[in-house]
Amino acid sequence: ISGVDVALLVVAADDGVMPQTREHLDILKLLNIQYGLIVISKVDLVDEETILMATEEVEQLVQGSFLEGSAIIPFSSQTGQGKEKIIQTIDHLIDRVIEKNQGGIFRLPIDRVFTMIGYGTVVTGTIASGKIKRGDTVEIYPIGERTIVRNIQIHNQWVNEAYAGQRVGLNLPNIKMEEIERGMVLSEPQALISTHLINAKFHYLKSNSAPIQNRMRIKFYSGTSEVIGRMILMGQEKLLPGEECFVQFRLEKKIPPLPYDRYIVRTLSPMMTIGGGLILEIQPQKYSPFHYPSTDYLKMLENRNAYETIEVLIKKESYQPLKMGELTIRVGLNQEEVIKICDDLIKEKRVLRIGEGLLIHTDSIRQLEKEILKKLHEFHEKNPDLNDASREEIRSKISNRLDQKLFEEVLQKLQTDEKIEIKQGRVKIFGFTRTLSQKQKYIYDELDRVCKEYGFRPLPMNILNEIRGNYGEKEVEQILKLMINEGRLVKLKNQRLIHSDSIEKIKKILKDHIEKKGKLALGEANKVIGIGRTQAQPIFEYLDAIRFTIRVGDYRVLYKKFEKEEVQTILISGDRDLDPSHFRMHRG
């Protein structure tokens, strides 16, 4: 249905207007055909009065349509009457047809597929947009197979290229005929999105006798495809004849349309055309009143203002930045047009570019800033004894669709604006200070004191259990979490605790030793920091995890100075126990 430019409505003089005549005219109107003519056929079989009656009947039928006032030509296939006039009228109408877009992406809805001896698979159709040349790489949608165009034929003539509006046959090597079927689309690689969800404007024909019910099973026609699916009415349960509304089609098979393609809807039984309209959005979310509280953005898409359409699509994605390439497909424009409009939106500070080709609306940025601050305030109110929250905890409370990169960029902006503070992957409202009860302060001070007293030795579990018994396990765990989050205490791999002051002192001693000796073995722990292997091992593993040191065989070296040359130095030093196969980076 995508290849019609000029319509020829035929009415037999001996039958007059038939039900199928009315259906065909309805289809032409739904496809928004602008040019056509009317032919009264079989005029050699009837008298002049019958021809006049048929003419008056068809004139009445086409009133208010694009065919009103069009040429009505009597025709006979037996005598040839009217043949030349039909050809002349078609030639005249063709001159008025607006030329199809040759600058857009190449798109060929496939209507036939066959094999030719010596050539292989051939597909035919009318090019909907763009152009194609011999040797071009194409993709078959929705199956995703790629090939090249080996040969092109137009009306039995071999050519090197073809343009929008032309009927073509394309020879596709290395593709089996069984893989392709009518309804598929040939286009440029990664130029289309195959989807089973489509948002559209639907016109329910006035000729229908009863209201249409929500979620009705239908047959959907677009391009050369015919797919069974359901039609979901947006915001209403039924639609009266002659009315329009926004709908979502949920199709049983994926198809690759573009926005503003026309479509037709027919019932399954009996097969009859009930309406059609304009595709507005491809690959949307599944419709529900929750996800679509308003269809205002669909009204903007319907107006076909490219500037507004691009802005509303970016804005609709909320906290999920839209890729430039995906935007190009979803608006049905070429890349140059989309880039120009996006550049204008960026200059006007309505849209921001983050990363490579990612676009986000400034309203979404402002809203995200408010959400982050709101969630942080709520966190502090519920947890006055905790100094800060983890980034991921705040992100998960905002939206499961919140893009990680966007979240990090907005956090950095809020920190620059001195609205929040970020430290060691945790975040809090700027200037917030936790408040502890008297009992919590006692627990905090006790843990701080005891861990300091044990110095370089991790706190024994029996001492920690004693503190839990004195103050209550729940209360102690709460303060432990706070002190670890603050960086006051460090929890090692074996669940033992050590004071952060002790860790800093150990780091200084080890740094001095390694810079002097070049390396450090676990067995040297007692000599260097005064603790045995068992106590030192979880400390060394922690230092590896924070990338202060790195394990090379049985030794540790400083992470930031670790290079291939240093490994070679260790090998040359004569340590026979070292095996190059043991060299692994331990990063916790």
Supply φ then ψ for residue 171, to 5 degrees: -90, 120
Assess if residue 333 is contained within a domain. Answer: yes
Does residue 83 share a domain with residue 17? Answer: yes
Of 588 and 165, the one with more pLDDT = 165
Does residue 16 share a domain with residue 64? Answer: yes
Task: Tell me whether strands 107-109 and 112-116 are parallel, antiparallel or unpaired.
Answer: unpaired
Domain stops at, among 187, 218, 235? 187
The sign of the torsion formed by the CA atoms of 570, 571, 573, 574 equals: positive
- For the segment 489-509, the average pLDDT, to the nearest whole number, is 91
Does residue 278 share a domain with residue 199? Answer: yes
Does residue 535 share a domain with residue 506? Answer: yes
Does residue 139 share a domain with residue 49? Answer: no
Q: Is the peptide bond before 142 cis (omega within 30 degrees of 0)?
A: yes
Q: Tell me the per-residue pLDDT of 372-417, one tens digit each, with 9 for 90 and over.
A: 999 999 888 888 777 788 888 888 888 877 888 888 889 998 999 9
- Alpha-carbon gap, residue 12 to 15, rounded angstroms: 5
- For the segment 324-329, the average pLDDT, to the nearest whole number, is 80
Alpha helix positions (H), 423-562: 438-453, 461-471, 473-486, 500-517, 525-529, 533-545
pLDDT at 294: 67
pTM of the model: 0.68
What number of other Cβ atoms are within 10 A of residue 38's Cβ? 21
How many structural domains does the chain have? 5
Q: Is the pLDDT of residue 219 over 70?
A: yes
Q: Which two tokens stand for residue 62?
A: 């086409």
| Residue 1's pLDDT band (cuts 50, 70, 90) | low
Assess if residue 379 is contained within a domain. Answer: no
In angstroms, the Cα distances linking 154 to 99, 329, 374 are 18, 28, 64
Contact 335, 418 (CB under 8 A): no
Assess if residue 327 is contained within a domain. Answer: yes
The domain in which residue 121 lies consists of 107-187
pLDDT at 392: 85
Contact 456, 502 (CB under 8 A): yes
Assess if residue 317 is contained within a domain. Answer: yes
Does residue 266 share a domain with residue 232? Answer: yes
Looking at residue 348, the DSSP 8-state letter turns out to be T
Assess if residue 441 is contained within a domain. Answer: no
- Alpha-carbon gap, residue 259 to 281, rounded angstroms: 6
Assess if residue 56 is contained within a domain. Answer: yes
- For the segment 162-174, the average pLDDT, to the nearest whole number, is 92
- Alpha-carbon gap, residue 587 to 314, rounded angstroms: 39
The CATH number assigned to the domain holding 88 equals 3.40.50.300
Assess if residue 391 is contained within a domain. Answer: no
* Long-range residue pairs from 14-18, CB within 8 A, at least 24 positions apart, any chain: 14/42, 14/45, 14/46, 14/50, 16/53, 16/54, 16/57, 16/58, 17/54, 17/57, 17/58, 17/61
Does residue 88 share a domain with residue 14? Answer: yes
- For the segment 101-126, the average pLDDT, to the nearest whole number, is 89
Assess if residue 128 is contained within a domain. Answer: yes
Q: Is the pLDDT of residue 570 over 90?
A: no
- Tokens 């049985």 map to which residue? 554
Q: Is the pLDDT of residue 575 over 60?
A: no
Does residue 116 share a domain with residue 46? Answer: no
Q: Tell me the per-residue pLDDT of 291-311, one tens digit each, with 9 for 90 and over.
A: 665 677 788 888 878 888 888
